[in-house]
Amino acid sequence: MIRSLMLAVLFVTGYGSPVAADPGNGGRNACRPAEALEPWRPDADAGGRWKMLEMGRFCRVGPGASQAQVMAAVNERDALAASMTPQPLVTAQERARRRRSGGVSDRPEAAAARQTPARPSVRARYGDAEDAREKEEGRAATALLEGGKSAELERDMRRHEEFERRWPAGKEFRECGECPEMVVIPAGKFMMGSPGGELGRYGNEGPRHEVRIGKRFAVGKYEATRAEYEVFAKETSRETAGGCHVFRGKRWRRDGNRSWRDPGYGQTAREPVVCVNRDDARAYAAWLSEKTGKEYRLLSESEWEYVARAGTATRRYWGEDADDTGLCRHANGAGSETSHVWRNKACSDGYRRTAPVGSLGSNGWGLHDVIGNVWEWVEDCLHENYSGAPTEGSAWTSGGDCKSRMLRGGSWLSGSRDLRSALRGRNTAGDRYYDDGFRIARTLTP
């Protein structure tokens, strides 16, 4: 009874119909169950029916299946088929012709059938009552299947609703006393990179392309601070050897006496940690993950630009700001208080080097210092442009130069051209600079 009910699901409802993509087959009929099962038609004996049921199970590769899943299903089907003895291949049209004429066709399939006598059909063996019973079971199986799909869809909807209730966009939280403050970011899409006519644009900011962020995640409200990093460094005995690059005169020099503890200028505990490389930032994220049992990490480059723009498409998240007068209210860069030749002469932000996090205005999603203050490490390898870049928000860690990693946002040392949402920076992953820091992210789960 159970086997015939399950068989009805396969042959009456068409649940095992081919739906997955197979590049070798033009994207159609990856498992091809109808063709594979035809030699073992429904008039096979009980053992043959069970084998057909198993083969049908192997052929259920749903929409969106990966290439590996498709190939696994095909390989299992072929292995099962090799262990079976097929009945003659007879098309549906030929069987109908034979039933009408009561004879045997001279087509090649019929010739094969004469050499191997076919088993009696379900109707011939059990009569109309049995045939009707199996049809009724098929209808029942269809109802059960549709009910199961509805129940599964309802469960998915409940999980999604629970996720959104637990993590509403804009929610702020902190998971331990020394953990960073986090903000929940909504899912969405945006155009990554700068348009060709943007003022100050560099060639590595294109081609401009759409990126979809499919799920909410959380990001640090501020850049990681000295106080937060110090707790990590004490608990893990993180080494600071190797020095830090500082800008002296007209060039960068590595100073062996400099570190995040002493970058060469005074800082308060509330200012962003500097003189940290990409490995330091990742180690901090791993420490947070172990401490909280949650997944902390660096942002991908596309996630960083998504949160920096906060729904905007302009040069900066507060507008085009072509005269740079808005910089001093939103971003700590090289302003008129400095003597650098590339300084922004339009105004002063009041800080010659790093500013305490949150000192200047936030963007539309409540994040501070996404432009200016310190460069922020992200996960991606160095790529010279966006040709072939991921479009779903993941980090680009294949190809390119992975000894170097990307940084975003500019710093207190940057001129106005380098204080834009689309600007891309780079450094060797193991090098430390006294204007490089990071911002942390967290993956959210229901």
Model confidence pLDDT, tens digit, residues 331-353 = 999 999 999 999 999 999 999 99
Beta strand 440-443 with 217-220 is antiparallel
Averages of pLDDT over each 10 residues, the chain, 446 residues: 37 33 36 46 47 50 56 64 51 52 45 42 47 64 65 79 92 96 98 97 98 97 98 94 92 96 97 98 98 98 98 97 95 95 93 97 98 98 98 96 98 97 97 98 93
Q: What is the pLDDT of residue 28?
A: 33
Angle at which helix 46-58 crosses helix 2-11, to 10 degrees, equals: 50
Angle at which helix 2-11 crosses helix 122-166, to 10 degrees, equals: 80
Q: What is the pLDDT of residue 58?
A: 47
**Could you write out the three-class secondary structure of the chain?**
CHHHHHHHHHHCCCCCCCCCCCHHHCCCCCCCHHHHHHHHCCCCCHHHHHHHHHHHHHCCCCCCCCHHHHHHHHHHHHHHHHCCCCCCCCCHHHHHHHHHHCCCCCCHHHHHHHHCCCCCCHHHHHHHHHHHHHHHHHHHHHHHHHHHHHHHHHHHHHHHHHHHHHCCCCCEECCCCCCCCEEEECCEEEEECCCCCCCCCCHHHCCCEEEEECCCEEEECCCCEHHHHHHHHHHHCCCCCCCEEEEECCEEEEECCCCCCCCCCCCCCCCECCCCCHHHHHHHHHHHHHHHCCCEEECCHHHHHHHHHCCCCCCECCECCCCCCCHHHHCCCCCCCCCCCCCCCCCCCCCCCCCCCCCCCECCCCCECCCCCCEEEEEEEECCCCCCCCCCCCCCCCCCEEEEEEEECCCCCCCHHHCCCCCEEEEECCCCECCEEECEEEECCC
Report how far residue 19's alpha carbon sits from residue 59's, in angstroms, rounded to the nearest whole number: 10
Q: What is the pLDDT of residue 4?
A: 39
Q: Residue 205, CB half-sphere, CA atoms under 13 Å: how many?
A: 21
Q: What is the pLDDT of residue 125?
A: 42
Q: What is the pLDDT of residue 234?
A: 96
Q: What is the pLDDT of residue 250?
A: 86
Beta strand 296-298 with 424-428 is unpaired
Q: What is the pLDDT of residue 92?
A: 46
Name which of 317, 407, 327, 324 is nearest 367 in CA terms: 317
Q: What is the pLDDT of residue 124?
A: 44
Report how far residue 118's alpha carbon sits from residue 43's, in angstroms, rounded to the nearest whole number: 9
Structural domains in the chain, sorted by start:
2-87+120-163 (no CATH), 172-443 (3.90.1580.10)
> What order do you get walking across the sheet with 401-408 strand by strand?
424-428, 401-408, 375-382, 436-438
